[in-house]
Amino acid sequence: MGEPAPFLRWRIGDVTVTRVVELTSASIGGYILPQVPPDLVDRLPWLAPFTDPAKKLLMSFHSLVLQCRDETFVVDTCIGNDKVRNYPRWNRMQSRFLDDFADAGFAVDAVDTVLCTHMHVDHVGWNTRLVEGRWEPTFERARYLYAEEEWAHWRATDQTEEYGPVIADSVDPIFDAGLADLVPSDHSVSDEVRLEPTPGHTPGHVSVHITSRGEEAVITGDAIHHPCQIAHPEWSSTADVDADASASTRRAMLERYADRPVLVIGTHFAGPTAGRVVRDGDAFRLDC
């Protein structure tokens, strides 16, 4: 399923953020958020842009490319091609992601830093690509930043993961190539970009905060999977390691950014993808 605009761009001071989509799907939303009622859009019409024509939750799998003066950062790298995955649609997938990345005006060898909000299957896939039977770093001139707590979690966890050998094919090769840097969860990447601890989905999950010329934005990662969780912060996903911590983190994030001129950019938000959080009774909504 496609979207009207393949590339969306936002400007936050001197920082440009570009969305490069790998795919959109309404097939997984009901799996990770099974508590969502079928009449949700009837109750909350503002969610319509984030659903498909059948009113199912629509999710986007995309990277966000940050251009900061003379540096280029990529936040999360989607699912990737050729990888053995237990989810049928993603198994040995063949997408146009790298072509679209180039069409958006970016070269893989011009990326300076790759930021991974966490190490789930749909956030690290294009960290590597298959070259003559080996998994090689896609962005071979970049440093890949991982939160120390996130890496510690995966080192102590079954490396196969639910969806397949994600760490083995998409993370370990980065360490083997000497391109990985372990950083604190509040690490300052540059004067304008820093990590923000948002644990719960995974223990070391981070969001990405942008500040430039008095303007602000935050990239959610999976602290918020879908805008319906803005209306219902208590709805944690089945993919969360700690559902209670995820809900607490989400509400704290919404409280922190509500009614402020902060652009909230969803890592899985389809449609307009970004907006500002405003209070709506006892909860919140996203104004796009």
Q: CA-CA distance, 206 to 193, in Å (whole number)?
A: 12
- Model pLDDT, residue 1: 33
143, 113 Cβ separation under 8 angstroms: yes
- Model pLDDT, residue 157: 78
Instruction: Determine the Cα angle at 62 with ends 269 and 129, to 5°.
Output: 155
Q: Which two tokens stand for residue 94?
A: 């063949």
Q: Which CATH architecture has domain 7-287?
A: 4-Layer Sandwich (3.60)
Query: Do the strands 71-75 and 113-115 form a parallel or antiparallel pair, or are they unpaired?
Result: parallel
Q: Where are the alpha helices (DSSP H) in the chain?
A: 29-32, 40-43, 97-103, 121-124, 148-155, 166-170, 172-176, 228-231, 243-257
Q: Which two tokens stand for residue 116?
A: 């991974």
7, 20 Cβ separation under 8 angstroms: yes
- Cα-based distances in Å from 85 to 79, 133, 254: 10, 17, 33
- Model pLDDT, residue 4: 40
91, 84 Cβ separation under 8 angstroms: yes
- Model pLDDT, residue 284: 98
Question: What is the pTM for the complete model shown?
Answer: 0.96
- Neighbouring CB atoms inside 10 A of 142's CB total 22
Burial 193-204 (b: 16+ CB within 10 A, else e): bbbbbbbbbbbb
Q: 130 has which bridge partners? A: 135
Centroid of chain to Cα 270 = 12
- Give me the residues of the chain with pLDDT under 50, please: 1-5
Question: How deeply is 222 buried, as exposed, middle or buried, from its count of CB atoms within 10 A (0-12, 13-18, 19+)?
Answer: buried
Domain ranges of the chain: 7-287
